[in-house]
Amino acid sequence: MPSGCTNGLNRLRENEIDEVVSENHHGDHRHLADEVSGSAATGTVDAIVVPTIRHPVWLRHAARLAVELDCPLVSLHSRSRSSARLAASCLPADVKLIAVDIDDVDRLNLPDLATTALLRGIRFDRRTDLSAKRNVGLLLARLMGWQRIVFLDDDIEVGGHEEVARAAGLLSDYDAVGMRIGGYPDNSVVCHAHRLTRGPQGSFVGGGALAVQATSNPSFFPNVYNEDWFYLLDDKALRPLAVTGMVKQRPYDPFDRPGRARDQEFGDVLAEGIYWLLDGQTDTSWQEAADLLHWKHFLVNRERFIEDVLRRVRSLPAGSDPNPRAMEASLLAALGRLRIIKAEFCVAYIKAWAEDRDRWTDHLNRVPVPPADVEGALKWLVKGGESPLNVVRCRM
């Protein structure tokens, strides 16, 4: 923690923070996943999938891993700084590359999801294509007959390919295997502020470094913040999940714009509210427990939690690092968004998600069998009548 934060919080008793947090926020969900040591057996990785909007130089680490694991690198590009053509020109000559431009999500052969329709055109709408890209990765794996794929964000660095292979090896016993996030913590903006003001805050498994059993798992990524936490759910509990290895996330400024916290809040509420139930789960499924009364209580707890973090931030001296004013602006943005979230809407979203799981399963069942070649698989990724995706394939 920066020294300015520490000095500014001298008058806050740690037991006071812990008391507020334990009532209103669960800072760590790691007990929900099995911790596996580095001695686990290795397994085959069929592909590494990287959604990206950055310049392809950010893909070089993933490309090195793909070469060492002798598997394809699937890079899914959008926005002006990232393209399939540029990736092919920037990456090493020995990488097996399938670089795809995702120019328009609506052209993709993905099911029409109720969760997406529920948020469309309102303030909770998420205007990114990350979830769609990850779902494309799942579909491509199905089409190609890839059983074990690894999702890797372009700002994540893995210590070595052996760690990825060990994660893949665990997929014989687990549906998904995450890798521990080291370096800069993988948290939402609100949780970053909580951690920086002495709050006990861990990091959980995320899609930034996640090995998955792609052919037997019917999960999908909804278009909402924390979509990876939803991917790990089934209708009653958490899918079999392990954590192994260590990766490093490159640092960034979570408080660079208040809109980041505002955009995250709805998804953060949903995910934290569900995982709160999983933390204390009995024989009751989380869906049954996530009723109207639960969400009413949880929204009250969430507001108290953010207000407590805000109080701690406001106690920081001017000149602290990170900037207390930027932290305060982000927390106020999150609070503003939180206060328009209704318990009834949370219930409606969970209902839509359950319907979407069935839609996604039906969609997977229509995937052509036997496995397609790369060209045939890519044609299937767009809706009938749409022009093909722009693809650059190298050494495939």
Express each pLDDT in 132-172 by its tens digit.
Answer: 999 999 999 999 999 999 999 999 998 889 999 999 999 99
Question: Between 333 and 283, whose confidence is greater?
Answer: 333
Q: How confident is the model at residue 8 (pLDDT cuts 50, 70, 90)?
A: very low
Domain membership of residue 308 (yes or no) is yes
Q: Strand 47-52 to strand 148-152: parallel, antiparallel, or no bridges (unpaired)?
A: parallel
Q: How confident is the model at residue 356 (pLDDT cuts 50, 70, 90)?
A: very high
CA-CA distance, 290 to 296, in Å (whole number)?
Answer: 10
Domain membership of residue 390 (yes or no) is no
Tokens coding 376: 């045939």
Domain membership of residue 175 (yes or no) is yes
Domain membership of residue 158 (yes or no) is yes
Domain membership of residue 4 (yes or no) is no
For 275-301, the three-class secondary structure string (H helix, E strand, C coil) is: HHHHHCCCCCCHHHHCCHHHHHHHHHH
Q: How confident is the model at residue 191 (pLDDT cuts 50, 70, 90)?
A: very high
Q: Which residue has the tokens 């799981």?
A: 357
pLDDT at 280: 86
**pTM to 2 decimals?**
0.92
pLDDT at 165: 94
- The mean pLDDT of the chain is 91
Whole-Å CA distances, 194 to 128, 246, 250: 26, 23, 20
pLDDT at 217: 78
**Three-state DSSP state, 242:** strand
Instruction: Give which of 381, 392, 362, 357 is closest to 104, Cα–Cα.
Output: 381
Instruction: Give which of 210, 27, 222 is closest to 112, Cα–Cα.
Output: 222
Beta strands in the chain (DSSP E): 34-35, 47-52, 73-77, 97-101, 148-152, 156-158, 176-183, 209-213, 241-249, 390-394
Residue 1 reports pLDDT greater than 70:
no
Domain membership of residue 92 (yes or no) is yes
Question: Between 81 and 85, whose confidence is greater?
Answer: 85
pLDDT at 128: 94
Domain membership of residue 2 (yes or no) is no
The CATH number linked to 239 is 3.90.550
Q: Which residue range(s) make up the domain with 75? A: 14-25+33-383
- Cβ atoms of residues 56 and 82 within 8 Å: yes
Span 25-71, pLDDT tens digits: 898 898 999 999 767 788 999 999 999 999 999 999 999 999 999 99
Q: Which residue has the tokens 């003001």?
A: 197
Burial of 379 (0-12, 13-18, 19+ CB in 10 A): middle
Residue 114 reports pLDDT greater than 90:
yes
Domain count, the chain: 1
Taking residue 260's Cβ as centre, other Cβ atoms within 10 Å add up to: 18
Average pLDDT over residues 259-282: 95
pLDDT at 38: 67
Tokens coding 74: 């699937």
Domain membership of residue 44 (yes or no) is yes
Q: How confident is the model at residue 369 (pLDDT cuts 50, 70, 90)?
A: confident
